Chains A and B, each alone.
Chain A
Amino acid sequence: MSKKLLRISGVNKSFPGVKALSEMQLDLNHNEVLALVGENGAGKSTLMKLLSGIYVPDSGTFEIDGQEVAINGTKHAQELGISIIHQEFNLMQDLTVAQNIYIGREPRRAGLFLSERALNRKARLLFDQINIDLDPKDRVGDLTVAKQQMVEIAKALSYKSRILIMDEPTAALNDAEVATMHDLIRNFTNEQTGVIYISHRMDELKAISNRITVIRDGAYIDTVDTESTTMREVINLMVGREISGNQRPASQTPSDEVVLKVSGLETKGFLRDINFELHRGEILGFAGLMGAGRTEIARAIVGADRISAGTIELKGTEVSIGNPAIAASLGVGYLSEDRKHLGLLLERDVKDNIALSSLKMFSRMGVINDKAMKSTAATYIDKLRIKTPSSAQTAKNLSGGNQQKIVIAKWLVKDCEILIFDEPTRGIDVGAKEEIYTLLNDLVAQGKSIIMISSELPEVLRLSHRIAVMSEGRLTGFLSNAEASQENIMELATQNTTGAVLTPLPASSAQRSTS
């Protein structure tokens, strides 16, 4: 038995209130590409941050070539030969390719002066070695995303890395670029090295990886041979749990009335041909992986982002929504996933936040009637059971669940017909989640219509009447609550919409909606 290139065992990591990883394990052979897959929040990024020395584990061991190591700090990780290529690039747009790669390690003359020539020569040598087609003198900001990705990889390899970890390296690439990237990875892999490859694109894993490790909810699930495993089996491993029947939505059925109709919606460079209808009294769930384009749809509908094509109809009338102010006046409210930055005025008090969208209602000739504002705030504090000592409490002092309720109250005061919830329960504890769920069900019972974007499949399955699934900027299918399961949602969510779909879906489990 040869020693593993990298072996991780018994790793635990907790954050205040959350257990991010428990007894995590993983091993990487020499000359291997190991795929790491898991749902959003499974613990992939925590694991990566442990490996790159950004986080320190609570317990557990890391071994490289059988040698136990304690990774303390990013610099140390580099010295150990571990390089990570993050999804977001860490490149300086205004420096050249070579300047980026050797930042902090510039060749110097007389210990003081930079030598641009030596720098470029060094970079060219590196590119020849690893067979990358780049010009050291190009300004990084002028390069395509694919080329920038190459720069990141070249930078990682310039540290004489042995273990390369890539986080969705192909998320922004087209098929030809993906092929080049895969060549590069194969080129890099040899008896001394190995790659951990994180991706959501199932077809890609088949093409590049030797084995696949599946993690879920911060725990290790299984490692399988790519050759002998179908992607459906991998998805089953990823999803795992089944949810019990009684968590399905109340019998309340939405009416036939279409309150919102989106046709042919596109945004520049991302969303493609989005078509769907929302009915009165319906919760339409939007599922998909991170970056699939769900938030972008919401932002496009309320006019926060510009749309490049398509129409939006409210109750049969076509409308043009240029900014969120127009959306609000038409009764469409958006509750952002990023409560702290995009939803709340953290430094202002509860009543200011609740009244923000409808200040005109509380004023005559521009002068605010504080009493009316206060009593309305009190009504909603009561109604939504917001736990706050008073309506004058600063928003930042409340818990996540109560902050979310404030944001909901804001849109209820505005009396919006259509509410778009983006990750309504993110960062909220279990008890408060239940209350939010009840609230959503109450709202549709009262005739409001809801679009709910969520990355938590059990939540989507439990609340939605229908589920729209997205992948890479497109809608890949609609599922009714009855036919939806975590498996067929994940299958639609991991479809590669730019190329061919590898495993066609059985007609019964998913239908492409044409409405």
Chain B
Amino acid sequence: MTLTKDAAQAAKVASNKQSEFNTRLRASFQQLLAFASLLALVLFFSVASSNFYQAANLSNILLSTVVTGLLALGTTFVIITGGIDLSIGTGMTLCSVMTAVFMTQLGMPMIVGVLCGVLFGALMGGINGFLVAFLKIPSFIATLAMMMVAAGLALVISGTKPIYTNEVAGFQKIFALGKSIPGLVIPNAVFILFAAAIVAGLLLSKTILGRYTYSIGSNMQATALSGVNVTKWTVLIYTVAGCFTGLAGVIATARLNSAQPAGGAGLELQAIAAVVIGGTSLAGGKGSIIGTVIGALIMSVLTNGLSIMSIPQEWQQVAVGVVILLAVYLDMMRRKKATN
């Protein structure tokens, strides 16, 4: 009697494990699919052009992913809540200008300047969050306005001229181009991106903040009625997202050893494209950091590969557009299948 009961219990546990495994498998399938597309692209370009699969070129691809990648990481949080952030492109530029100002005009030590650059991004994110959560301005509008404010401020503060950080010893080397690992051609900026991705991934999957990010995106009203202070958490989530914008600004400055006040516009759309290719739903509630990283890599592999094949830039844009459509459509089909 006890024996059969135990056996039944064991079977139940086993079947639970099995179905849990299935659920997990289905979730990772999405990422597998994105990853497979990335590999397919790499394979295709390697065959198409002998210049593609070279250490120097691969390292180039990674380096060119860093700024958009960092922006995409932050905006993944915002998009999972069901919002959108259009201010990250010019916001990144403003952070870049501020970082340069902190280090040169205000004479802060490098590390303090970097920290302040990141915190400035957090401040901008916090303002976005305040506009969205407290004043209930739709995120599209709030961040569109913020995008313009940031673009303007970057020009005002810099006096429309680049601010050079050459005199900040080691800045470019440590935060962008230096290669810390002997024998590896990968520059530091890439490691910073991957470190940031790991932090973002942990934040999203292992912390309260991450859990609320998902729950606000899947059902804000239910989350509020469950006793979660949605207003407060939304501000926090936007603030965290802003940190990544700030970091992107810092890296962009280090890479060029200068803050270029006129750039940045359009980067937000590339970042959003990376997030979407990575399987994060603009409707909110779904998405992952690993998907975003792969999405960002797909974007830069595509651009780099097409350049190497001497496809004119205007056609590269067409190709990227088509890839975005394909990626999102395939994702929708897959989801539909999953629900049926």
Chain A residues in contact with chain B, CB under 8 A? 302, 304, 323-325, 327-329, 333-334, 336, 341-349, 352, 356-357, 359-360, 363, 366-368, 370, 389-390, 392-394, 410, 414
Contact = CB atoms under 8 A, between A and B. Distances in A.
Given A324-B224, A334-B225, A348 B218 contact: yes
B324 interface: no
Given A336-B225, A356-B228, A366-B208, A345 B218 contact: yes
B289 to A, nearest CB: 16
B209 A366 contact: yes
A342 B227 contact: no
Contacts of A367: 206-208
Given A342-B221, A366-B207, A394-B23, A323 B215 contact: no
Contact of B285 (A334, A341, A347): A347
B219 interface: yes
B219 A341 contact: yes
Given A345-B222, A356-B223, 13 more contacts: A342-B222, A343-B225, A345-B215, A345-B219, A346-B219, A347-B218, A352-B214, A360-B208, A363-B207, A368-B206, A389-B15, A390-B16, A392-B23
Contacts of B228: 325, 356-357, 359
Contacts of A302: 225
A64 B49 CA distance: 77
A302 B227 CA distance: 9
A361 to B, nearest CB: 10
B334 interface: no
B226 interface: yes
A356 B15 contact: no
Instruction: Pick the 6 closest A-B CB pairs, nearest first.
Output: A328-B227, A389-B19, A325-B229, A390-B16, A392-B20, A345-B218
Given A359-B208, A389-B15, A390-B20, A347 B225 contact: no
B161 interface: no
A393 B207 contact: no
Given A345-B223, A363-B208, A389-B16, A352 B229 contact: no
Nearest to B12: A389
A353 to B, nearest CB: 9
A4 B52 CA distance: 84
Nearest to B16: A390
B211 to A, nearest CB: 6
A392 B215 contact: no
B120 interface: no
Contacts of B15: 389
A334 B215 CA distance: 17
A327 B225 CA distance: 9
A267 B242 CA distance: 39
A341 B227 contact: no
Contacts of A346: 218-219
Nearest to B209: A366
18 contacts: A329-B227, A333-B227, A345-B214, A345-B219, A345-B223, A356-B226, A356-B228, A357-B227, A360-B208, A363-B207, A366-B208, A367-B206, A368-B206, A390-B19, A392-B24, A393-B23, A394-B23, A410-B226
Contacts of B221: 341-342
Nearest to B228: A325
Interface in B195-243: 206-212, 214-215, 218-219, 221-229, 231
A414 to B, nearest CB: 7
Given A324-B224, A392-B23, A368 B211 contact: yes
Nearest to B203: A366
B228 to A, nearest CB: 6
B179 interface: no
Nearest to B227: A328
Interface majority SS (helix, strand, loop, mixed), chain B:
helix
Contacts of B211: 352, 356, 359, 368
A393 B19 contact: yes
B286 interface: yes
B108 to A, nearest CB: 29
Given A356-B215, A392-B24, A324 B285 contact: no
Nearest to A370: B206
A344 B23 contact: no
Contacts of B20: 389-390, 392
Contacts of A414: 227
B215 A348 contact: yes
Contact of B229 (A323, A334, A349): A323
Contacts of A370: 206
B227 A327 contact: yes
A5 to B, nearest CB: 45
A363 B20 CA distance: 22
A357 B223 CA distance: 8
A420 B215 CA distance: 22
A357 B225 CA distance: 9
Contact of A323 (B17, B219, B224, B285): B224
Nearest to A348: B218
Contacts of A329: 227
Contacts of A324: 224-227
Contacts of A343: 222, 225
Contacts of A363: 207-208
Nearest to B339: A396
A344 B231 CA distance: 19
A368 B225 contact: no
A329 B214 CA distance: 22
Interface in B300-321: none
B170 to A, nearest CB: 33
